[in-house]
Amino acid sequence: MAEALKETNYHFPGQKKMYRGKVRDVYHIGEKHLAMVASDRISAFDHVLPKGIPFKGQVLNQLAARFLDATRDIVPNWMVAVPDPNVTVGLKCDPIKVEMVIRGYLSGHAWREYRTGKRLICGVDMPEGMRESDRFPSPIITPATKADEGHDEDISREDILGKGIIEESIYLKLEEYTRALFQRGTEIAAAQGLILVDTKYEFGIAPDDTITLIDEIHTPDSSRYFYAEGYEERQERGEDQKQLSKEFVRQWLISNGFQGLEGQSMPVMPDDFVKVVSDRYIELFEKITGDRFIKADTDRIQTRVESNIASWIQDNLT
């Protein structure tokens, strides 16, 4: 099996600090730039699983770069360069502490809430009589607070504004950007025979005070996709939709007794399931881009990533 990039611990010229998230290792370079390494770690229910998934980081990084390029006309974004298959270098922004989640279909977290009898999520009404994977009459925005640690929490627009988390003018702009980005992502997915089911966007304030799209977009870690072919037939028969997302990993964890709750033990994926997960990520890349995925050389992957970041810093910041 190919080598997985589990974590990094580099020291670059001009490095101010390093932060390790659930999936990404973020290096602050100088006053203006971040080098974000997409590792092969995988998380679910806000917990990082023990094993890495080969090529997952490359898939996330390269998909995010494509979508950031494809939406730059809608909203400015943080990306400056992609010096390595697993790395994006971008502008340092002050993160806005709200994730903008948008849902076109009743699936995932929204479905889990719905089937318990809830019809209100983040202050938004969900119609009666819906089935899992049904399309909403129009996409709904269900924000979440962006926690530094632990679980993100659902929050309504009214609470965001009432608590002064974001100024109303900024929040309304985030909603506008979110709907436009989702529409663009929906169109790109449809051209490849996919349905963009739901996704999330993160924003920050750039040094020039511009609202800026940050982090990844439209990747299998941040989004859910269904196959368009057969969608209606599967809904009519009450069958599960064929999808490309992390949901199958969550379902595997649930079937093995783990949902991130207190007292539960994290199961360890067997190697054959790790390969299945890796193949699923590659499948989504190829399906949504229409291009063949070119696996980067994972021999000495740590050295490769470090060298490519260092070269970019040398060529651009010194």
Summarize pLDDT for 37-86 with one digit per residue, the tens. 999 999 988 899 999 999 999 999 999 999 999 999 999 999 999 999 99
Residue 150 predicted with pLDDT over 70: no
257: left (phi over 0), alpha (psi -120 to 50) or beta: left
Residue 302 contacts residue 68 (beta carbons within 8 Å): no
Residues 21 and 55 in one domain: yes
pLDDT digits (tens, 9 = 90+) for 25-38: 999 999 999 999 99
**190 & 304 share domain:** no
Q: What is the CATH number of the domain that holds 29?
A: 3.30.200.20
Instruction: Return the pLDDT at 102.
Output: 98
d(CA 29, CA 35): 7
Domain boundary among 229, 244, 259: 244
- Pair 161, 220 in one domain: yes
Give the pLDDT mean for 205-220: 94
Same domain, 109 and 80: no
Q: Is residue 74 part of a domain?
A: yes
Task: Report the pLDDT value the prediction gives residue 284, as an integer from 0 to 100.
Answer: 85
Residue 179's domain is classified under what CATH number? Answer: 3.30.470.20
Specify whether 102 is located in the same domain as 217: yes
* DSSP code for 267: P
Bigger pLDDT: 248 vs 65 = 65
Q: Choose the final residue of a domain: 210, 244, 278.
A: 244
Shared domain for 103 and 239, answered yes or no, is yes
- Does residue 224 register a pLDDT over 60? yes
Whether 116 and 213 map to the same domain: the answer is yes
Sheet holding 15-20, edge to edge: 15-20, 24-29, 33-38, 87-91, 79-84
Assess if residue 262 is contained within a domain: no
Pair (203, 142) in one structural domain: yes
Domain count, the chain: 2
Mean of the per-residue pLDDT values for the chain? 94
Nearest to 281 by CA among 66, 53, 67, 38: 53
Looking at the structure, tell me whether residues 59 and 172 fall in a common domain: no
Q: Give, for 237, the enclosing helix (H) or strand (E).
A: helix 231-237
Let me know how long the chain is.
318
> What residues make up the domain containing 39?
15-93+269-317
151: pLDDT confidence band, cut at 50, 70 and 90?
Answer: low
In a domain, 51, yes or no: yes
Query: Do 27 and 160 sit in the same domain of this protein?
Result: no
- Tokens for 256, please give them: 């093995």
218, 64 Cβ separation under 8 angstroms: yes
